[in-house]
Amino acid sequence: MGTWLDHDLTRALLYPYLALAFTLMVTVFHHRSLRRNRGELRAILLYFVFFFLCFLAVPLALILLTAASPAAFLRSAGLTFGQAGRGLLLSAIAVPLCLLAAFIGSHDPALRRQYPFAKTACRTPGVFAAYEAAYLCLYYLPWEFLYRGLLFLALLPALGLAPALALQTIISTIYHFGHPDSEIWAAGAVGFVFGLVAWITGSILYTVFIHALVGMATDTFIYLRGRRPRPVENEP
C-alpha cells in the first residue's frame, strides 16, 4: 500500500501523458501517416522509433524523474524477472503454439498484405534481419511495457485483476483497428492470455518473448514464402 501511495505524482503525470501519446501514435505518428511522404521502409522504421519514444523512453524518464522509488515502480510495472521458473515454463509451452499460429497466419492473404509492415525489408536477408531486430527492440518491448506493464501490472493494486485485464485488453485491441478482422479478434483473446501470463509471472519479459515470437515468426514465414522459387511452366 505504501508503495502505491508513494507514486501519486508519477501516476498523475504518466497516465495523462500516455493518453496523449496514444492519440499521437494512432494519428500523426502512425505508419499510415508516415508513409505519405516517405519510402516504405524508412516510414516503418520511423514509426518504430516513435513507438519506442512514446511508450518506453519517455515513460521511463518520467518514472526516473518523479517516482519516490523508481526501481520499485518499474518492478511493479513488470520490469523484473519475476517468477522465473513459471515464466520459463510458460515460454517453453508457448513456443510450438506460437510457431503453429505464425505458420497458419502466414497462409492468410489478409495477414500477408499486412505483414511485414515494410514489404521492402524482404529484399535481402540482411535487411530483413535488421528490420526484425528493430521490430523486437523498438516495437514489441515498448508494446509490452505499455499494455502488460503500465496499463496492467502497475494498476493491479488499484483496479483488481479483472478490471485491469479488461482495460489493457480493450486498449490494446483498439490499437489494432484497421488490421485484418482475424487479427483484431485474436488481439482481444491474447490480450487476456498475455495479461494472465504477466500476472502469473509478475513480469513483462515473458510476454515480450511470446508476443515477439509469434509476430516475428509470422513475418519470417511470409518472407520465406515470398522467396520460394515459383515453378516454371513448360512452353508448348
In a domain, 91, yes or no: yes
Low-confidence stretches of the chain (pLDDT < 70) are: 1-6, 228-236
Residue 107 domain flag? yes
Q: How many domains does the chain have?
A: 1
Residue 234 is assigned to a structural domain of this protein: no
- Whether residue 58 is contained in a domain is answered as yes
Render pLDDT for 119-174 as a digit per residue (tens, 0 to 9): 999 999 999 999 999 999 999 999 999 999 999 999 999 999 999 999 999 999 99
Helix count (H) and strand count (E) of the chain? 14, 0
| Domain span at 163 | 2-227
Q: How far apart are CA 195 and CA 42, in angstroms?
A: 32
Picking from 84, 63, 83, the residue whose alpha carbon sits closest to that of residue 74 is 63
Whether residue 235 lies inside any domain: the answer is: no
Amino acid letter, residue 147? Y
Q: Which residues does 222 contact at the CB level (< 8 Å), separation at least 6?
A: 106, 111, 112, 115, 116, 122
Residue 235: the pLDDT is: 43
Write out the three cell numbers for 124: 535481402
**Looking at the domain assignment, is residue 236 inside a domain?**
no
Distance of alpha carbon 62 from the chain centroid: 21
- pLDDT value of position 2: 43
Tell me the CA end-to-end span of the chain in Å, nearest whole number. Answer: 80
Tell me, yes or no, if the pTM score tops 0.85. Answer: yes
77, 71 in Cβ contact below 8 A? no
Residue 232 lies in a domain: no
